[in-house]
Amino acid sequence: MKITKRVSDLLNEQFYNELYAAHIYFAISASMRLTPYQGVAKWMRMQAKEEMEHADKIYEYLVERGVQFKASDIRKPETDVFASPLDGFKAAYEHELKVTAQIEKICDAAEEDKDRVTCDFLAWFLKEQVEEENNTFQFVRALEFAGDDKKLVMGVDSWAGKRAE
């Protein structure tokens, strides 16, 4: 069973989208390292590594399907300065929504091309997106609640810092 060119091109593009997501998370983490919010810095760095694993999953799938991998540039994040944990988590949540749309677009193409194996492969990513949207949004909600109360923000920070390695 051959994978169609448009599906493999989209997956190849998604490999770079995942690395781009990693870049954003590294940028947020680096900004937070310069603040007292070390828990958020840790959380974001761990997420950056997870995004690289997503890219690796796609890489493995592409080569397994016999696709000639195409190297490309990784886009630069729009900003690398995040003023607060809320700024960072808002950017992360908004980015996760974009990634969900990217995955859905590949699913649509795979479905149209009757590529059931790719649909099956992408089901894991869709479920992962539900989790990642929820994870980032719950921090947005908590940080909005905390507002300018530094003690509450530090509480959210220690929650973020409990993320298991």
Q: Provide the binding-site residues for Fe ion, judged by CB under 5 A.
A: 18, 51, 54, 132
Q: What does the block give as tokens for 20?
A: 């781009």
Residue 54 tokens, joined: 């997503």
Number of other CB atoms surrounding residue 45 within 10 Å: 19
Using the minimum distance from each CB to Fe ion, give the nearer residue, 56 or 149. Answer: 56
Q: Given the complex with Fe ion, which of 18 and 157 has the nearer CB atom?
A: 18
| Alpha-carbon distance values, 56 to 74, 155, 159 (Å) | 15, 34, 28
Q: Which helix (H) or strand (E) holds 142?
A: helix 116-146
Q: Which residues contact 58 (CB under 8 A, 6 or more apart)?
A: 11, 14, 15, 18
> Which residue type occupies 40?
V
- Work out how close the CB of 114 gets to Fe ion at its nearest, in angstroms, rounded to a whole number: 26
E strands present in the chain: none
52, two tokens: 């690289």
Considering beta carbons, is residue 38 or 100 the nearer one to Fe ion? 100
Q: Judging by beta carbons within 10 Å of its beta carbon (0-12, 13-18, 19+), is residue 43 exposed, middle or buried?
A: buried
54 versus 90: smaller Cβ distance to Fe ion:
54
Question: Residue 51 or 157: which CB sits closer to Fe ion?
Answer: 51
The closest residue (CB) to Fe ion is 54
